[in-house]
Amino acid sequence: MPLISTIIPAHVHTNEDGYTSDIEASSVLHAPRYLMDPDTKLHRVQKLVSCIPIIGLLIAGRLLYQKSLMKKEYAKLNYIPSQKCTNITCSRLDPSHLNLAISISIFGGLGLLFPIMILVGSVLLIMNLYSKIASHCRGSQSY
């Protein structure tokens, strides 16, 4: 979960209340890479691994640490990046994006999501086996 350096460009900022204001370009900010590019392979692996007991708690601790670092970085700004902002960089750096990941990591770390993962995995396995058997039976029929 490396941090990257980024700059929020000058834009018309929309805050959570819907008010807009003209914002100058920010200084260099350090933010988690997966906030800027949420479709990375590392981010997908983190989502899966955070559901594993104990490991999820470690990931939750790391995410909480990153959120505190982000708050320190945002103290340099006169505003907080908002999900409602039309600027893509600003909206992706909204600190509330980490809330769901932290919650899932805590529940997964406590072992509450592991039974759900086993259940979903079993259902997917059964569906896959059924489709293979059905396609094999359809393919072997002769008219």
- What's residue 39's pLDDT? 76
Print pLDDT tens along the chain (143 aa): 567 788 888 888 888 888 888 888 888 887 877 777 777 788 888 888 888 889 999 999 999 998 888 888 888 887 888 888 888 888 888 888 889 889 999 999 998 888 888 899 999 999 999 999 999 888 766 55
Average pLDDT, whole number, for the chain?
85
Say yes or no: 46 and 101 in one domain: yes
Shared domain for 105 and 68, answered yes or no, is yes
Domain match, 117 and 52 both: no
Instruction: Looking at the structure, tell me whether residues 72 and 129 fall in a common domain.
Output: no
Q: For residue 43, give Cα distances in angstroms to 27, 72, 73, 98.
A: 26, 23, 22, 12
The answer on 105 and 132 residing in a single domain is no
Length of the chain: 143
pLDDT at 71: 85
pLDDT for 38: 74
Domain shared by 107 and 123, yes or no: no
The predicted pLDDT at position 1 comes to: 54
Split into its structural domains, the chain has a count of 2
Q: In this structure, are 100 and 86 located in the same domain?
A: yes
Q: Is 121 found in the same domain as 69?
A: no
- Structure pTM? 0.71
CA distances from 44 to 20, 113, 143 (A): 34, 16, 46
Q: Report the distance separating Cα 60 and Cα 54, nearest Å.
A: 10
Based on the fold, state whether residues 75 and 142 are members of the same structural domain: no
Domain shared by 121 and 98, yes or no: no
Residue 120: which domain range? 113-143
For residues 28 and 61, membership in a common domain is answered with yes
